[in-house]
């Protein structure tokens, strides 16, 4: 096995409905994922010993079992009695813990590459089983699609295969650590989620899918939704203020991705995204990116 390189893409949630807890204590959700071209690079290289080692340009990335890429390789090596060790080098460009699922994407990339390089011959169904073991966002990155609906914990994936449109985005990522667990706990106190809205959520996701196919950005913006946003803003008032500032400066629909803190807007072109970035350049303590559907 020679050194292998793969790109590991980020996601945003164009829609995120949250409902009451399942028996496993996870909330039921309905979400519409979009894969974007903001990405990490991963290099896999064999080792002569049996160790799995994580190497990363970002010191905040965990190096052991807390790293999903590490766990992905460890699971496959254990289940298929692989004797090889592995270096996993991650060039990290996706901001950490931002609601963009960089760690989940890294894990999916490692599963896909090792399935081929270790000749495991796992089909999609079996790969998705491994993905679900690792995290609720991992399965989305295993189906190689730009758009998909996630149900259950978000890991029951239905591909929106007929959707060929590509969209430009501006991403604003505050340098703030957000606790996903705390956000869900606050959501339960604010909304007391139930399953009564599942039918409406399914209808709303279907409508958003239809609007994405038509590519009419003003209509798409009206369908963007994230149930977690209010809970996150309630816990972190600075994010609420930032969102208000972004709306005033950019005059665009700005939505949080996942539990945050990353926020995004859909724009008509790269040029419009660049103009918005210049307008928003005065906002401090944030990273900004221009990204497109991948």
Give per-residue pLDDT as tens, 125-175.
999 999 999 999 999 999 999 999 999 999 999 999 778 889 999 999 999
Q: What are the helix (H) ranges across 146-284? A: 180-191, 198-214, 217-223, 228-235, 237-250, 270-279
Confidence of residue 253 (pLDDT cuts 50, 70, 90): confident
Cα(10)–Cα(34) distance, rounded to whole angstroms? 9
Fold of domain 168-292: Alpha-Beta Plaits (3.30.70)
Which residues are paired to 90 by β-bridges? 42, 56
Sheet holding 168-174, edge to edge: 255-256, 263-267, 168-174, 286-292
pLDDT 10s digits, 197-236: 888 899 999 999 999 999 999 999 999 999 999 999 999 9
137 is an active site residue: yes
Residues 123/117, Cβ–Cβ less than 8 Å = no
24 is an active site residue: no
The CATH-assigned architecture of domain 4-159 is 2-Layer Sandwich (3.30)
Cα(198)–Cα(292) distance, rounded to whole angstroms? 30
pLDDT value at residue 1: 58
Cα(238)–Cα(122) distance, rounded to whole angstroms? 45
Secondary structure (DSSP) of 33-55 = EEEEEEEEEEEEEEESSS-EEEE
Domain with CATH 3.30.230.10 in the chain: 4-159
The token pair that represents 6 in the structure block: 């793969």
Cα(256)–Cα(261) distance, rounded to whole angstroms? 7
**Which of the residues 5, 20, 87, 137 is marked catalytic?**
137
Q: If residue 149 lies in a helix (H) or strand (E), which one and from where to where?
A: strand 147-151
Pairing of strands 85-91, 52-56: parallel
First to last CA, the chain: 28
**Which of the residues 11, 40, 92, 155 is marked catalytic?**
11
pLDDT 10s digits, 81-130: 999 899 999 999 999 999 999 999 999 999 999 999 999 999 999 999 99
**Rounded (5°) CA angle 126-128-132:** 120
pLDDT value at residue 250: 66
Q: How large is the average pLDDT for residues 10-20?
A: 97
Burial 238-249 (b: 16+ CB within 10 A, else e): ebeebbeebeee
Cα(137)–Cα(117) distance, rounded to whole angstroms? 23
Domain with CATH 3.30.70.890 in the chain: 168-292
Calculated CA dihedral for residues 249, 174, 178, 157, nearest 10 degrees: 80
Q: How large is the average pLDDT for residues 279-289?
A: 89
């Amino acid at each position: 096995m020679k050194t292998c390189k793969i790109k590991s893409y980020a996601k945003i949630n164009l829609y995120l409905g949250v409902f009451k807890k399942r028996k496993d204590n996870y909330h039921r959700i309905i979400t519409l994922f979009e894969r974007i071209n903001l990405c990490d690079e991963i290099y896999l290289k064999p080792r002569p010993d049996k160790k799995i080692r994580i190497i990363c340009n970002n010191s905040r990335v965990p190096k052991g079992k807390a790293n999903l890429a590490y766990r992905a390789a460890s699971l496959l090596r254990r289940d298929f009695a692989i004797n090889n060790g592995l270096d996993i080098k991650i060039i990290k460009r996706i901001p950490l813990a931002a609601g963009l699922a960089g760690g989940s994407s890294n894990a999916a990339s490692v599963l896909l590459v090792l399935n081929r390089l270790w000749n495991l011959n796992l089909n999609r169904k079996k790969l998705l089983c491994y993905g679900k073991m690792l995290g609720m966002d991992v399965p989305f990155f295993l189906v190689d699609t730009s758009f998909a609906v996630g149900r259950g914990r978000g890991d029951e994936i239905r591909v929106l295969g007929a959707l060929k449109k590509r969209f430009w985005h501006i991403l604003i990522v505050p340098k703030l650590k957000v606790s996903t667990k705390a956000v869900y706990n606050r959501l339960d106190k604010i909304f007391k989620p139930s399953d009564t809205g599942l039918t409406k959520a399914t209808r709303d996701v279907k409508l958003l899918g239809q609007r994405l196919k038509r590519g009419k950005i003003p209509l798409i913006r009206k369908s963007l939704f994230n149930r977690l946003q209010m809970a996150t803003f309630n816990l972190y008032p600075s994010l609420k203020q930032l969102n208000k500032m972004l709306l005033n400066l950019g005059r665009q629909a700005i939505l949080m991705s996942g539990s945050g803190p990353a926020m995004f807007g859909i724009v008509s072109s790269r040029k419009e995204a660049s103009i918005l970035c210049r307008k928003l350049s005065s906002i401090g303590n944030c990273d900004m990116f221009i990204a497109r559907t991948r």
